[in-house]
Amino acid sequence: MPHTTVNMSAHAAQSSVDSIFDHARRDGRPVHVLAPMVRYSKLPFRLLARNYNTDVTYTPMILAHEFIRSSIARDSDFTTCGRERQPTPDGRQHALIAQFASSDPTEFARAAELIAPWVDGVDLNCGCPQSWAIKEGIGCSLMQRPETVAEMVKSAKARLGPSKTVSVKIRIAKDLSETQRWIGIVEAAGVDFITIHGRTKAQRSSTSPDYHAIQSLVAGAKVPILANGDANHPSVLAEIIAKTGAAGTMSARGILENPTVYAGHAVTPVECVQKFMKYAVKHPIPFPLLLHHLSEMTAGVEGMNKREKSRLMACRDLFDAIDFIEEKWRLGDSSHELKS
């Protein structure tokens, strides 16, 4: 858990997630959200997304029981800094949400309470379709237990109070009436908003999301809904909002490939890569993870052919990666700044 990098005195001035939804609604625009991605939604990438019109960022999914049990797990799973929840230089509000996996109301509430000083809200993962998660009674398995989820929402809200949001992320069922009933039960428990991934637990990413299903759920919902699924290009973002009527979009693979998608860029600009390197130097992550980020976000950049990608993937450490970027895109004195 963070200790020295967070300015606790500044927290009172930070905007809540509800405030971001309200401001976006008044401005007539959707809310832009970075999805919780295992390994990839770590601090340097969240800070990068914050620079490019992302309103709310999520941590990777955290196992609540491990987070409660071990300080080592807490330090490993979650890092932050004072800048993360502050408004951006252009004055935009920004918020951070921690996503937990749990199936127990007391456990979820305790994890939420532990992380509360450093985040603006917590989210319960009810959408992970992986077999190990379902076996553990978390993720998509919770779509069969709406009453349990309702108790978890109530417990967390009782611990956190009104200054923090409690949300859930779900997938749709084959029978949409089941999802509608599920949402109604969780809404009655006081959930603040819901993210809906427009695929069933059995559908792979190659299957197109069902935006019509999301639209039907939005129409009957009493709380804001975020639409998730294939939010990977500025034109697609607008299409998703038009088709679903959602309050905003959540991007995962799309923003991983192009962290500037919410800023209207079709491909990642080179200056975004430079910023990412600066954040990664200041807030280190494992080098294989850094290399994967660079591979994803540079894939569409002009001149990044197979040969150049092979050169990038051959980098052995952070300094090799810095040298590659400087040589490839002529970033001038940036390498000296990055290495200092």
- Per-residue pLDDT tens over the stretch 140-151: 999 999 999 999
The alpha carbon torsion through 229, 230, 231, 232 (nearest 10 deg) reads 160
- Active-site residues, by number, are 128
Measure CA 49 to chain center: 10
According to the model, what pLDDT value does residue 3 have? 39
Give exposure, 44-78, as e/b (b: 16+ Cβ within 10 Å): bbbbbbbbbbbbbbbbbbbbbbebbeeeebbeebb
pTM for this predicted structure = 0.92
Q: Which CATH architecture has domain 16-263?
A: Alpha-Beta Barrel (3.20)
Average pLDDT over residues 173-201: 97
**Residue whose C-alpha is closest to residue 169's, from 112, 113, 100, 75:** 100
pLDDT surpassing 60 at residue 185: yes
Q: What is the pLDDT of residue 4?
A: 32
Please determine, for residue 12, whether its predicted confidence score (pLDDT) is greater than 60. no
Does the pLDDT value for residue 2 go beyond 60? no
Domain residues of the chain, as ranges?
16-263, 270-329
**Local structure of 198: helix, strand or coil:** coil
Q: What is the average pLDDT score of the chain?
A: 91
Q: Which helix (H) or strand (E) element contains residue 241?
A: helix 234-244
* Mean pLDDT across 235-245: 97
Residue with tokens 């909002």: 241
Residue 338 confidence (pLDDT): 54
Average pLDDT over residues 170-199: 97
pLDDT at 9: 35
Evaluate if residue 15 carries a pLDDT over 90.
no
Q: Which residues contact 129 (CB under 8 A, 6 or more apart)?
A: 139, 140, 171, 201, 202
SS3 171: strand
Cβ of 303: how many Cβ atoms within 10 Å?
9
Note the pLDDT tens digit of each residue in 30-80: 999 999 998 899 999 999 999 999 999 999 999 999 999 988 889 889 999
φ, ψ of residue 34 in degrees (nearest 5): -90, 125
Task: Say whether pLDDT at 303 is over 90.
Answer: no
